[in-house]
Chain A
Amino acid sequence: MKYAYYPGCSGHGSSVEYEVSTRAVCNALGMDIVEIEDWNCCGSTPAHSVSHELSGALAARNLMQAAKTGADCVISPCPSCSSNLKMALWRMQKPAFKADVDALLDAPTPANEQGGADLLETYSVLQAIVENVGIDQVASRVAYPLEGIKVVTYYGCLLSRPAHVAKFDDPNNPVSLDNILKALGAEVLPFALKTECCGAAMGIPDVNIPGTLSGRILETAKAVGAEAVVTACPLCHMNLDLRQRQAARITKNRPFELPVFYYTQLLALAFGLPENTMRFDKLAVNPKPLLDKIAERRDARVMAAYNEARKAAGV
């Protein structure tokens, strides 16, 4: 399986740590990825909120660029990008919509027998890891387990929604991240707000909207005893991590001090990949105390096993 890789704009800005850790993890899992040449922004929520045709055309140019790589499908770490690319192809199965999109492009998209657009399917990197690589394969790569740290997984809105287009996991109670984190040796706590909206990009016009919504997510995560939140979305991450203090203030909480990781950072950590593939230094909420805790528990576990072995050998 060859993957055409679509990084998405935030990979060059606010989510560098997601971008580098995703690439490193894909390589470690033996996924054959090649970046789409000269990809453009998918238009994100602003484009589809303004016009489906405009959003479709921005996606279609990327999918045409992707075809040039000779890959079998497109993958993107960003749920908003992968959702947009999926949605565009889904809508373009209607010949009339395809024609409207084609009218905005330099050259029309290729057609299939039914008159819909014949372009590559898109998946989130998470979906490709879970469905193509498999949890067993992930588990077999773990060299440094996460030593039972307590986490909640936060999926956000778009990874499995709308269900008829996303065709991945459960739209109300997704479990793919849970399964990965369990394979890495973390304790995944039950969490009711897995797919509650974090406020998305509403923070630009009005910080109170993501402040209130993200504040509630963080508050609940703390209340169930989480030591960290794990996410797969750059926008969710910005609201939960970069805006965490703001969210605490708006919801009248004391600072949460709750580290928020991209799941790929924890994969890289558990696989024992080089430190520069994790970029923990990019996180706004300091994850060091928790990372130290993992290291201490590991040392203690290894020491205990060592002493046990010595005792058994009668030394």
Chain B
Amino acid sequence: MNITRLDKARDLTFKRQVEEESGQNLSACYQCGKCTAGCPSAQVYDRQVSQIMRAVQMGLKEEALKNRSLWLCLSCSTCSSRCPNNIDVAAVMETLRNMARREGWVQDRPIETFWKSFLDTVKYTGRSYELGVMAGFMARTLRGWGNVEIAPTALMKNKMPFIPSVIHGREEVARIFQRYADKEDRS
């Protein structure tokens, strides 16, 4: 059993920060568990979404930010639509995910790498490019072989063009990414 000394671990600035960034009132959660009941990822989570809500409420920063669940969340907003107190729970999950990245607490590299491969194609061409994302992901992680199974059909149906589309404003888009990266470096 884990014992948490609330008088020591509690970080109420953290709770306020999450409330500020997500725009949600965490005190409204009364732990009914409906978000968890509806969550399609519940069976693969190491900490359930309602437990994460409780952790934030109690100001338990590490409990809320150091878990794989944040990275397995599908952003489907089922939790938000089920919450009887109208908390946008998915927005809280996303805020925590953004915060965990800023703290350097990414718990699941493959999904992070997929996002990076995706955003790279956007950065270089202005658009996302499915084949490029897949290739980039597989080259970086040596994973994703499960997708090879669907490749023949995808190629036969010409669903994955070999030539990416490149927009005129790609440099404008690249500058968005550059300014974002600069800002991240400063903070």
- Nearest CB on A from B120, distance (A): 10
Check B177–A162 contact: CB distance below 8 A.
Answer: no
Check A103–B179 contact: CB distance below 8 A.
Answer: yes
A199 vs B75: C-alpha distance when bound (angstroms): 10
- How many chain B residues touch A (Cβ–Cβ < 8 Å)? 66
Q: Chain B contacts of A47 at CB under 8 A?
A: 119, 122
Check A50–B119 contact: CB distance below 8 A.
Answer: yes
Check A46–B180 contact: CB distance below 8 A.
Answer: no
A137 vs B27: C-alpha distance when bound (angstroms): 47
Q: Chain A contacts of B77 at CB under 8 A?
A: 157-158, 161-162, 171
Question: Which listed residue (B72, B75, B173) contacts A48, Cβ 8 A?
Answer: B75
Among B122, B133, B134, which residue has the most Cβ atoms of chain A within 10 A? B122
Question: Which listed residue (B74, B82, B90, B137) contacts A202, Cβ 8 A?
Answer: B74
A199 vs B153: C-alpha distance when bound (angstroms): 20
Q: Mark B133-177, 1 if CB is under 8 A from A, else 0.
A: 110010001011011011001100111110001011110110111
Check B115–A157 contact: CB distance below 8 A.
Answer: no
B91-137 residues with Cβ-Cβ distance < 8 A to A are: 91, 94, 97-98, 101, 110-111, 113-116, 118-119, 121-122, 126-131, 133-134, 137
A246 vs B148: C-alpha distance when bound (angstroms): 11
Q: Chain B contacts of A43 at CB under 8 A?
A: 119, 122
User: Which bucket holds chain A's interface residue count?
Assistant: 35 or more
Question: Which listed residue (B94, B127, B149, B165) contacts A246, Cβ 8 A?
Answer: B149
Stretch at the interface among A6-14, A224-232, A259-267: A6-14
- The yes or no answer to A205 lying at the interface (CB within 8 A) is yes
Q: Residue on A with the closest CB to B184?
A: A51
Check A157–B78 contact: CB distance below 8 A.
Answer: yes
- The yes or no answer to B28 lying at the interface (CB within 8 A) is no
A54 vs B25: C-alpha distance when bound (angstroms): 24
- Nearest CB on A from B107, distance (A): 13
Check B122–A40 contact: CB distance below 8 A.
Answer: yes
Q: Chain A contacts of B110 at CB under 8 A?
A: 205-206
Question: Which listed residue (B101, B127, B159) contacts A14, Cβ 8 A?
Answer: B159
- The yes or no answer to B40 lying at the interface (CB within 8 A) is yes
Question: Which listed residue (B127, B141, B150, B173) contacts A243, Cβ 8 A?
Answer: B150
For chain B, what secondary structure do more than half of its interface residues adopt (helix, strand, loop), or is it mixed?
helix
Check A12–B127 contact: CB distance below 8 A.
Answer: yes
Q: Chain B contacts of A9 at CB under 8 A?
A: 127-130
A158-202 residues with Cβ-Cβ distance < 8 A to B are: 158, 161-164, 171-172, 195-197, 199-202
A22 vs B15: C-alpha distance when bound (angstroms): 45
- The yes or no answer to A114 lying at the interface (CB within 8 A) is no
Check B160–A282 contact: CB distance below 8 A.
Answer: no
Question: Which listed residue (A16, A39, A44, A199) contacts B159, Cβ 8 A?
Answer: A16
Among A40, A43, A65, A209, which residue has the most Cβ atoms of chain B within 10 A? A40
- Nearest CB on A from B132, distance (A): 10
Check B111–A40 contact: CB distance below 8 A.
Answer: no
- The yes or no answer to A106 lying at the interface (CB within 8 A) is yes
Check B147–A204 contact: CB distance below 8 A.
Answer: yes
Check A44–B167 contact: CB distance below 8 A.
Answer: no
- Nearest CB on B from A36, distance (A): 11
Check B40–A13 contact: CB distance below 8 A.
Answer: no
- The yes or no answer to A58 lying at the interface (CB within 8 A) is yes
Q: Chain B contacts of A40 at CB under 8 A?
A: 122, 126-127, 167, 169-170, 172-173
A162-B80, A204-B147 known; A13 vs B119 contact (CB < 8 Å): no
Check B91–A162 contact: CB distance below 8 A.
Answer: yes
- Nearest CB on A from B180, distance (A): 5
Question: Which listed residue (A14, A103, A206) contacts B160, Cβ 8 A?
Answer: A14
- Nearest CB on A from B103, distance (A): 14
Question: Which listed residue (B121, B157, B176) contacts A61, Cβ 8 A?
Answer: B176
9 A-B pairs whose Cβ atoms sit less than 8 Å apart in the complex? A13-B160, A48-B75, A49-B94, A49-B98, A157-B76, A162-B91, A163-B80, A164-B86, A205-B137
Given contacts A50-B98, A51-B98, A284-B153, 17 further A-B contacts (CB under 8 A): A14-B160, A38-B167, A41-B122, A46-B118, A49-B97, A49-B98, A58-B122, A61-B172, A106-B175, A157-B78, A161-B80, A162-B90, A171-B80, A202-B74, A204-B147, A205-B114, A284-B157
Residues of B at the A interface (CB closer than 8 Å) are: 40-41, 44, 72, 74-78, 80-82, 86, 88, 90-91, 94, 97-98, 101, 110-111, 113-116, 118-119, 121-122, 126-131, 133-134, 137, 141, 143-144, 146-147, 149-150, 153-154, 157-161, 165, 167-170, 172-173, 175-177, 179-180, 183
Give 9 closest A-B pairs by Cβ, nearest first.
A207-B146, A46-B115, A157-B76, A197-B76, A205-B110, A161-B77, A171-B81, A46-B118, A197-B40
